[in-house]
């Protein structure tokens, strides 16, 4: 069974930093591209970052580029999101999300974790 | 403000059909496929439709997707109470080089 379990969320002051982690299991992690997507409670979804299978390619939303960094450790089956210079508007539930390219068919965001809540407030 | 535009709500009675629209532009829906996600309260989203009109295994054929120009639609036939959820469309945007989502549509089965 595919499982994505996020951790690392919590309360942080504006301007502070936080590192989120996502532990993956139930699939060959190193063969799948990964993303982070966030959702303000009661609001819509916002894609934040993408990382390729090797970690050699990353992409970011303009809203977090230069502040957030996505990375992965295929040996540990984990993907992280380092968040710096946090702002009140970064308060949200952060999801770890898998991309799936299976036999030439692309299933974007096919599995989601349950999310970890980040609150940025003084 | 979401890049893709969805109606905030939709409603219909059980057994009937409903269509949820998703309006975009030439750089997203006009150039790329559309995906739809279903989200129940307190739960993570679930992939419902990919590549505009394909269903992952396990998704009933009551759910179907389509696209015309810069707009896409999700159609649900034979509505059931279990279809009450939020529905989001998404597409890659070639202009901003980001995945963009719609603001979501809350479906109520009356």
Each residue of A76-113: pLDDT tens digit?
999 999 999 999 999 999 999 999 988 888 889 999 99
Contact B85, B38 (CB under 8 A): yes
Contact B1, B98 (CB under 8 A): no
If you measure CA to CA, which chain B residue comes closest to A46? B101
pLDDT of residue B1: 85
CA distance A51 to chain B (A): 13
Contact B72, B29 (CB under 8 A): yes
CA distance A73 to chain B (A): 24
Q: Which of A44, A61, A105 sits opposite B88 (nearest CB)?
A: A44
For A114, B28, B31, B79, the CA distances from B64, given in Å and listed in that order, are: 26, 20, 20, 13
Q: What is the pLDDT of residues B46-70, one digit of tens each?
A: 999 999 999 999 999 999 999 999 9
Q: How far apart are CA A63 and CA A89, in angstroms?
A: 10
Contacts of B58 in chain A (CB under 8 A): none
Q: Which two tokens stand for residue A118?
A: 């980040």
């Amino acid at each position: 069974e595919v499982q994505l379990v996020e951790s690392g969320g919590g309360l942080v002051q504006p301007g502070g930093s936080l590192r989120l982690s996502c532990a993956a299991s139930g699939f060959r992690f190193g063969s799948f591209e990964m993303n982070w997507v966030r959702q303000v409670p009661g609001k819509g979804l916002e894609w934040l970052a993408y990382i390729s299978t090797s970690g050699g390619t990353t992409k970011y939303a303009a809203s977090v580029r230069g502040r957030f960094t996505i990375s992965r450790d295929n040996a540990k089956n984990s993907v992280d999101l380092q968040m710096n210079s946090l702002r009140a508007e970064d308060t949200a539930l952060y999801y770890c999300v898998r991309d799936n390219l299976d036999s030439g068919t692309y299933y974007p965001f096919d599995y989601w974790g349950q999310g970890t809540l980040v609150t940025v407030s003084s | 403000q979401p890049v893709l535009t969805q109606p905030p709500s939709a409603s219909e009675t059980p057994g009937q059909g409903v269509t949820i629209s998703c309006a975009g532009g030439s750089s997203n829906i006009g150039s790329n496929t559309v995906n739809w996600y279903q989200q129940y309260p307190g739960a993570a989203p679930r992939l419902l439709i990919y590549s505009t009109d394909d269903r992952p295994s396990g998704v009933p054929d009551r759910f179907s997707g389509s696209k015309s120009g810069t707009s896409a639609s999700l159609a649900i036939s034979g509505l059931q109470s279990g279809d009450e959820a939020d529905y989001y469309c998404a597409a890659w945007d070639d202009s901003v080089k980001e995945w963009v989502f719609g603001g979501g549509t809350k479906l109520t089965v009356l």
